[in-house]
Copies of this chain bind each other. A is one copy, B any other.
């Protein structure tokens, strides 16, 4: 394979700003500036991003291909609407993939890798959920340290796509105190298992971590719906 990725793929730093219309719309969806289920009118968007309609249409098609946007014939595009079932579906896939990626990491992790993980975790604990967006970034980076090392780029990119979708949802809801505690302790536990070269243990922690994260989001979605249906 060349250095050409089949999709935008994983960013190197996570700090660069979007340049293409595609990236800008994508970013607006993930960051929540475009609501789930919101209609995406080509004219509006081309205006918003200061381009003509063609680039917008092409960007929407690409987003459709990636699953961030749905389109109905002659009725245009909408931001992917997300319900509990959708989150559950993604989480079920991640529960299969992430432990597998983690197992590989355990087998190749160096001291430097573990030090990087511990540093990332220290940052997470320092922020301590005071800034939700910042926590999201750091948490993503923590896991990215693990998954980026995997030889299966396809699986890593799938994780990344799911991660972005989940991030787009999760940012609309608060994180409960109990979930916060669980996140921290599971991260610590994960590092410990990696250090101990316990691949199965690490995989089990990750599975629990992913599942807990999914359950938490689904519960928050339900709670929010009960408040304002």
Chain A residues in the interface with B (C-beta under 8 A): 1-2, 4-7, 54, 57-59, 61-67, 70, 72, 80-81, 83, 85-86, 88-90, 92-93, 96-97, 100, 151-155, 158
Residues of B within 8 A of A66 (CB): 65-66
Given contacts A93-B154, A96-B100, contact A64 B67 (CB under 8 A): no
A70 to B165, CA, bound (A): 22
Alpha-carbon distance A138/B1, docked complex (angstroms)? 31
Supplied contacts A6-B70, A66-B66, 7 more A-B pairs, CB within 8 Å:
A6-B80, A58-B58, A58-B61, A62-B62, A62-B64, A96-B96, A96-B97
Which secondary structure characterizes the binding site on chain A? helix
Query: Closest residue of chain B to A53, judged by CB?
Result: B54
Which residues of chain B have C-beta atoms less than 8 A from A62's C-beta? 61-62, 64-65
Bound state CA distance, A62 and B89, in angstroms? 23
- When distances are taken between beta carbons in the complex, the residues of chain B under 8 Å from A92 are 100, 152, 155
Q: Which residue of B lies closest to A153 (CB)?
A: B89
Our pick among B63, B85, B90, B97 for the contact of A65 (Cβ within 8 Å) is: B63
Task: Collect the chain B residues with CB atoms within 8 Å of residue A158's CB.
Answer: 93, 158
In the complex, chain B residues whose CB is within 8 Å of the CB of A97: 93, 96
Q: Which of B65, B72, B81 is within 8 Å of A7, CB to CB?
A: B65
Question: Bound state CA distance, A228 and B122, in angstroms?
Answer: 54
Q: How far is the CA of A85 from the CA of B155 in the complex (A)?
A: 12
In the complex formed, the residue of B with least CB distance to A90 is B154
